[in-house]
Amino acid sequence: MNNPELWFQGFEEGRRATARAVAAKLRGTMPDEELAALVGFGLDELGDEEPAAPARSRYDHAAVPGLRLLEPAFVRAVRAARRLTQPEFASMVGVNARTVCEWETSPVPVRVKTASFDRIAALAAARKDAPAE
């Protein structure tokens, strides 16, 4: 931003929103004077409104029932420990080989159906020297 006044105004609004959220959580657990000192604003400045619920992250696995988050490194490690190729691993998990490739090369945790997650977890828990099923 080129205008420092606008930047400071946005910063102040952010501080006030954070203080409002903290005050809403702690109101009633301590005297108002202590709460005002803690958040740095008078409680009358903050108002009584509840803060808006935070937006869900697109990576929040709880947002979609039946899906779990899985780290790409974990998929690679399980497959390597079992000495499986991507197509072999894919057939054991019940997905396409291209899907396994996408899971392993993703820069962020990937969403995986719970059934696939359970199969991968079972493979991870199995003894490494046991034959692949």
Q: How confident is the model at residue 33 (pLDDT cuts 50, 70, 90)?
A: confident
pLDDT in tens, 86-127: 999 999 999 999 999 999 998 888 888 888 989 998 888 886
Higher-confidence residue of 63 and 65: namely 65
- Report, as an integer, the average pLDDT of 62-82: 81
Q: Which domains does the chain have, with CATH numbers?
A: 4-46 (no CATH), 61-125 (1.10.260.40)
What mean pLDDT is predicted for residues 65-71?
Answer: 81
Structure tokens at 65: 């029932």
Instruction: Count CB-CB contacts under 10 A for residue 100.
Output: 25
pLDDT at res. 31: 82
Closest CA to 72 of 107, 25, 41, 122: 107
Q: Give the E-state strand segments of 13-123 in sequence order.
A: 67-70, 110-113
Q: How far apart are CA 42 and CA 53, in angstroms?
A: 23
Q: What is the mean pLDDT of residues 18-26?
A: 74
